[in-house]
Amino acid sequence: MTDKRIPRLEIPNDVAADAAVPEDLDSDVYGPYAVPEPARRRSAGLVYLGAALLVAVGIAVGLPGGMGVAAAGLGALAAYHAITAWHLAVREDRALETANRATEFPVGHASAAMSFEGWRARPVWNVLVFSADDPPTKRGLVRVDALSGEVVETYTEAIVERADD
């Protein structure tokens, strides 16, 4: 078994204590967080398929024929779950690395969040990046396809300092 490190948000203990961060937000209490696989949708799809089959059997033994609409709806929902159950080929760490390579500036802080595109809910990582200088002078958004690892689009801009009112 390989030891795969999962990236996680870490707050220094003194900062967490000063900010009164609740225990349920402390990653050391619950362990590292990983985005769940969209492939888990297959399990829900099987539940919907089972429900559709139960309704169909019920119709065969005497339930009203109008229940066929419910069976068809459950079957369609099961099919949709089956075709949107993607297996992630690109996890958070690889998405962060890809975003780092896709920007024209050295990346300091970065954060990845997943979204879904299109009717088949294709997973895409949205990686927010900040330049490595202190304070950051540039920021950007890099969108990475979670299936192929290709950069979907990139947007970067300078961070303009505002004068205090």
Same-domain status, 19 and 73: no
Structure tokens at 45: 């799809």
Same-domain status, 103 and 164: yes
Structure tokens at 39: 């492939």
89: left (phi over 0), alpha (psi -120 to 50) or beta: alpha
Residue 154's pLDDT is 92
Q: Give the residues of the chain that fall short of pLDDT 70.
A: 1-12, 16, 21, 23-33, 162-165
* pTM: predicted TM-score of the whole model, two decimal places: 0.72
B/e letters for 65-74, b = 16+ CB within 10 Å, e = fewer, are eeeeebbeeb
Same-domain status, 104 and 64: no
Domain count, the chain: 3
**Contact, 150 vs 140, CB < 8 A?**
no
37: left (phi over 0), alpha (psi -120 to 50) or beta: beta
Same-domain status, 23 and 45: no
Measuring CA to CA, which residue among 28, 39, 6, 17 is closest to residue 147?
Answer: 39
Same-domain status, 90 and 156: yes
Residue 161's pLDDT is 75
38 DSSP 8-state letter: G
Task: Locate all alpha helices (DSSP H) within 3-119, ordered by sequence.
Answer: 13-19, 27-30, 41-60, 67-83, 92-102
Residue 14's pLDDT is 75
Residue 19's pLDDT is 74
Cα atoms in the 13 Å half-sphere on the side-chain side of 41: 18
27: domain range? 1-34
